[in-house]
Amino acid sequence: MAGYRRPNYRLTFEGSDMEGLEVVMRPMPLGHMLDLSELDNITSGGVTHVTPELRKQLTGMIDLFGEYLREWNLEDEAGEPVPASIEGFRVLDFPAQCAIILAYVRAANGVASPLADASTSGDQSVEASIPMETL
């Protein structure tokens, strides 16, 4: 019987200020995923002061994420490739790190990128036009 390997995740950032960036991530265990999903709670909560405890938590998330980074096409200002590693991930600014981590969490959870604009053609479905009454 042939072995099975879980597929990598390919993250793209079309329509954002990071358009053109492609990141390939290895899948991570659920416990690590849950740790990273906490980042969404932290960043959406409007943190105004970074405590030593929060700094330690964020550093841990960044280091954890870097362990699963497989490859990317990121270059520095001189056009040199940035290594796909914990050290390479640390050179990014915090908003870029958050965007990549949250894109991975969404991809791993099966949340698709936003869909294109709704179709403007076609008729309303018949079911939607059937009058409904309580019996």
**When comparing pLDDT for 131 and 12, which is higher?**
12
Percent of the chain with pLDDT over 90: 33
* pTM (global) more than 0.85: no
pLDDT in tens, 38-73: 777 776 766 667 788 888 888 888 888 888 999 999
Quickly state the pLDDT bin for 31 (edges 50, 70, 90): confident
Rounded to the nearest integer, the mean pLDDT of the chain is 81
Report the distance separating Cα 50 and Cα 58, nearest Å. 10
In this structure, what are the phi and psi dihedrals at residue 39, rounded to the nearest 5 degrees?
-60, -35
pLDDT in tens, 97-112: 888 988 998 888 885 5
